[in-house]
Structure 1
Amino acid sequence: MLKVNKKEFVDGLSVVGKVVRTTPTMPILSNVKIEVKEGRGKIIGTDLEIGIIYYFNCEGDDTEFLVSEKLLEDIVKSLSDETFTIDVDEGFIEIKTKSNLYKVRTVNDEFPFISIENVDKRLDFKTEDIKKGLKKVNFSIGLPERTRIEFTSALFEIKKDMVKIVGTDGNRLALYRNGDFKRDEKEFEFLVPKQSINMLINILSFEKKDTITFGFSGKSFYYEGDKIYFISRLGQGKFPDYEMVLPKENSNFLVLNREELIKALSRINLITREGTGKVTFERVDDTLKLYGFSTEVGEGVENIDIVEGNLKNKVKIFLDTKRVIEGIKYIDDEKIKMLVFDPEAPITFKGLNDENFLYIIMPYRSE
């Protein structure tokens, strides 16, 4: 018999369930494996691209069993007591509290799990830095069902004194830089699929260590924290040459108040979301004019004071309203610098005093 804390167990099922609930390629993958040895339990799940082990504390005998993840989570969530017991019998488990008893059929089959061999590279990150970097880049990565394979992963470039994380869907790009890390002697690069990044962002919210380590082999990488072991296959394809779209040194620029720009674009989006989604940026003397139009609902104009800049008057730039907002909200600076080499070339947004994050978006062609 096992005695288990409900909250800790539900937390574990919630984490592991995110990979189990993806469309399973085999029926067995809709289950989780529960293992207990010497008072430490494991909830294990995989889709054969990602594997997660969640560690939990318990009291009782060593055991292991396979059971439906969704059914187990639904039952345990609904229990009224803070603790419950699990009895393992032949072909079943019994879940008990003072007032509840559920008998659930187990699965008698081999449970697959992906593994990693020949780990030859390691990276140490500050936990808050890697969480920040993943969030700042993840939104810009292409969705697997909508884009080519090379746009569905983030690129990690590990250089002598800098880590770069880059994501793109072909129409926009986010780049995060960080120099506070430790690595082996080698410089290298690798791709991490968007699904794996989604999982990592969630998993790292449970991490209490200040610094975490990732290990890499030729095709996989892993991370192990206090509560969670995570393993993932690396991404496929060749990442595009992103340096081609980085801002030119002689770009013109505008400096704007970040909050004012986000609020103005959010109001314009109330109009443009019903139509093309397009917003026009135009410098008019000391203000930036934002104009949105939709044949269905009408039009809107916003004027924002320009802090400084050398972009010429009357130059018009056509951008996607929603996509601009999605990127600039990750800029950690009160002032945003907008870099314009050409109105029809990639437009860059960055913090005025922050070189660690760039957001680049392709404009629409002039009308």
Structure 2
Amino acid sequence: MKFTVDRAVLLKALAHVQSVVERRNTIPILANVLLDAKTEGSLTLTATDMEIAVVEEVAGVTVPRGGRTTAPAATLYEIVRKLPDGARVELDHGGGDGPLTLRAGKFNTSLAVLPVDDFPSMTEGKLPTKFSIKAGVLRDLIDRTRFAISTEETRYYLNGIYLHAAEAEGAPVLRAVATDGHRLARVEEPLPDGAKGMPGVIIPRKTVQEVRKLADETQDEIEIRLSDTKIRFGLGTVALTSKLIDGTFPEYERVIPRGNDKKLTVPKKDFEEAVARVAAISSERSRPVKLSISRNNLLLSAASPEQGQAQEELDADTVSYESSPLEIGFQARYLTDITAQIGEKMEFLFADGAAPTIVKDEAKPEALYVLMPMRV
């Protein structure tokens, strides 16, 4: 195998595939990228960790001798990254166990390879559901839910985003949900053509992260194909295939309160900054911030046995609340995570000081967040 390609083109492709490679693993071949060059001038790069596989087609490649080999993904990426802009990179492998030679200008190096036959194939199988979604829509679904993905490995079925077809006010929607048991994020968009009847699937956290990075690089439509065990995202020349979490997502609708009738509306920016200031009194990430709410008035406070206490009152002309007085506490970080998803105005819906609270973006009712209170 021998081919030549522009450094920028190769670097972009390597950045996509090497990010799924696990740096620490017990199977050496999983640290490698598969290089497949064909004499008609195409190059395919593949990397996998046995849960996710990324395949990228690279154009603009000169291939005097076709062939396949594997090379250490992280090392190859670092070498190409440090080559000068505009460099032309030549990769040459004579076959067998011999090294892969990389040349660029006056620089050359040799990389050890592993047998192509050892490289695992993550076959997709049948993916009967197929639909397309705009990159911006997919980014929005991910960004407004992924903060609530659980990191608790024992409840593995919460370690991802639950994507499924649903109905909202009589209209079909594509809904993304994530929860860690302390907060819940539910965001929906109009159901794309072809998604009706799709199985509800749990997309793993790592897959969510990789797809989000890829979606940043395009404004085009992203093709999604899925079954009840695998999902494939097609983004231009890149295809990412992932196994799905084999588990049952909880019946999340049951934890969304229906009778919260005490409504507080506050400016997002003022609230966010006030939370940050009062929470700074304590270095404990789980320290609660207390909201003391009365008619058109909101006082935020926090206390630390070691550091003291802090409080801040929001301007009365920016706060809207017409119900009976209420005191309730929330973990500061959870408040901040949800606030980051809101536009200009935040809407809180309370039942009492001990019940789950609903948080909404006043301008985007398609997004809903549930936050469990803390004892203060």
TM-score by length of 2: 0.91
Give the whole-Å Cα distance in 1 for the aligned partners of 2:323 and 2:307: 31
Give the whole-Å Cα distance in 2 for the aligned partners of 1:269 and 1:361: 17
What's 1:141 paired with?
149
1:206 pairs with one of 204, 207, 217: 217
Give the whole-Å Cα distance in 1 for the aligned partners of 2:197 and 2:296: 50
Give the whole-Å Cα distance in 2 for the aligned partners of 1:309 and 1:19: 48
Q: Is residue 308 from structure 1 mapped to residue 320 from structure 2 by the alignment?
A: yes
What's 1:74 paired with?
78
* Residues 1-367 of structure 1 mapped to structure 2, 5 A cutoff: 1-21=2-22, 23-37=24-38, 38-57=40-59, 58-61=61-64, 62-82=66-86, 83-90=88-95, 91-110=98-117, 111-145=119-153, 147-159=154-166, 161-179=172-190, 181-209=192-220, 211-274=221-284, 276-305=286-315, 306-313=318-325, 315-331=326-342, 333-365=343-375, 367=376
Specify whether residues 361 and 239 from structure 1 end up closer, same or farther in structure 2 by C-alpha distance, changes over 3 A only: same
TM-score by length of 1: 0.93
8 A contact 2:91–2:102 mirrored in 1? yes
Q: Give the letter aligned to residue 134 of structure 1.
A: I
Identical-pair percentage: 22
Deviation at 1:245, TM superposition (A): 2.1
Question: Aligned to 1:142, what secondary structure does the other structure show?
Answer: coil
Specify whether residues 47 and 183 from structure 1 end up closer, same or farther in structure 2 by C-alpha distance, changes over 3 A only: same
Question: Aligned to 1:139, what secondary structure does the other structure show?
Answer: helix
Deviations 1:321-345 (A, max 9, x none): 11111112112x3111001022211
Q: Give the letter aligned to residue 363 of structure 1.
A: P
8 A contact 2:134–2:222 mirrored in 1? yes
Deviation at 1:244, TM superposition (A): 1.6
Deviations 1:199-221 (A, max 9, x none): 11011122342x22211123111
Question: Aligned to 2:352, what secondary structure does the other structure show?
Answer: coil
8 A contact 1:126–1:180 mirrored in 2? no
Q: Give the letter aligned to residue 168 of structure 1.
A: T
8 A contact 2:157–2:247 mirrored in 1? yes
Deviation at 1:270, TM superposition (A): 1.3
Specify whether residues 185 and 70 from structure 1 end up closer, same or farther in structure 2 by C-alpha distance, changes over 3 A only: closer
Question: Aligned to 2:239, what secondary structure does the other structure show?
Answer: strand
Give the whole-Å Cα distance in 2 for the aligned partners of 1:19 and 1:335: 38
Q: Give the letter aligned to residue 87 of structure 1.
A: D
Specify whether residues 289 and 184 from structure 1 end up closer, same or farther in structure 2 by C-alpha distance, changes over 3 A only: closer
Deviations 1:246-294 (A, max 9, x none): 2324521100001111111111221133474210001144221000111
Specify whether residues 355 and 270 from structure 1 end up closer, same or farther in structure 2 by C-alpha distance, changes over 3 A only: same
Deviation at 1:54, TM superposition (A): 2.0
Give the whole-Å Cα distance in 1 for the aligned partners of 2:239 and 2:152: 25
Deviation at 1:144, TM superposition (A): 4.7
Give the whole-Å Cα distance in 2 for the aligned partners of 1:94 and 1:204: 33
Q: Give the letter aligned to residue 151 of structure 2.
A: L
8 A contact 2:275–2:332 mirrored in 1? yes
- Structure 1 unaligned residues grouped into runs of 5+: none
Deviation at 1:40, TM superposition (A): 2.0
Deviation at 1:81, TM superposition (A): 4.9
Deviations 1:142-186 (A, max 9, x none): 1154x5112112111213610110000111111111115222542
Question: Aligned to 2:93, what secondary structure does the other structure show?
Answer: strand
- Structure 2 unaligned residues grouped into runs of 5+: none
Q: Give the letter aligned to residue 352 of structure 2.
A: D
Q: Give the letter aligned to residue 298 of structure 1.
A: G
Give the whole-Å Cα distance in 2 for the aligned partners of 1:269 and 1:11: 41
8 A contact 1:175–1:359 mirrored in 2? yes
Deviations 1:91-110 (A, max 9, x none): 12211122201122221242
Give the whole-Å Cα distance in 2 for the aligned partners of 1:183 and 1:81: 43
Give the whole-Å Cα distance in 2 for the aligned partners of 1:20 and 1:218: 24
Deviation at 1:80, TM superposition (A): 2.4
Deviation at 1:24, TM superposition (A): 2.8
Give the whole-Å Cα distance in 1 for the aligned partners of 2:340 and 2:312: 18
Q: What is the total number of aligned residue pairs between the two structures?
A: 362
244-253 or 219-228, which deviates more: 244-253
169-178 or 32-41, which deviates more: 32-41
